Amino acid sequence: MGIGLEPHEFRGPDDFERVFGAIAAKWPDALMTTADSLIISYSTRIVDFAAKHRLPSMYPTKEFVVDGGLLFYGGTIREKFRTRQPMGQDS
């Protein structure tokens, strides 16, 4: 299919310039993020970067789309991190 993935390590806000610079230099066809809580906490900044560079993007939660992202595949943050209740008990 000709699809290649290029992961970029992100540990905190000090990594934005390095990671965004590396992504922008390669002119990728698209951007995809993970559902890591650190990544999710910077959703607006990531969405803004993708829009500025006209990168079609797929995100892991609805919150990215609320922030202006193109699309997501998955649930909300609350759904991703909720705990399962024993049978017969509603949350």
pLDDT tens, the chain, 91 aa long: 788 889 999 899 999 999 999 999 998 999 999 888 888 899 999 999 999 999 999 998 888 999 999 888 876 667 666 666 666 665 5
> Is the residue at 13 inside a domain?
no
Number of structural domains (the chain) is 1
> Is the residue at 53 inside a domain?
yes
> Is the residue at 37 inside a domain?
yes
Q: Which domain holds residue 67?
A: 24-81
Segment (H or E) for 86? none
> Is the residue at 50 inside a domain?
yes
> Is the residue at 5 inside a domain?
no
Tell me if residue 25 falls in helix, strand or coil: helix
Predicted local distance difference test score (pLDDT) of residue 14: 93
d(CA 44, CA 47): 5
Phi, psi of 38 (to 5 degrees): -65, -45
Q: Cα 44 to the chain's mean position, in Å?
A: 10
Q: What angle do CA 73, 74, 79 make, to 5 degrees?
A: 160
Q: What is the pTM of this model?
A: 0.76
> Is the residue at 11 inside a domain?
no
Predicted local distance difference test score (pLDDT) of residue 15: 93
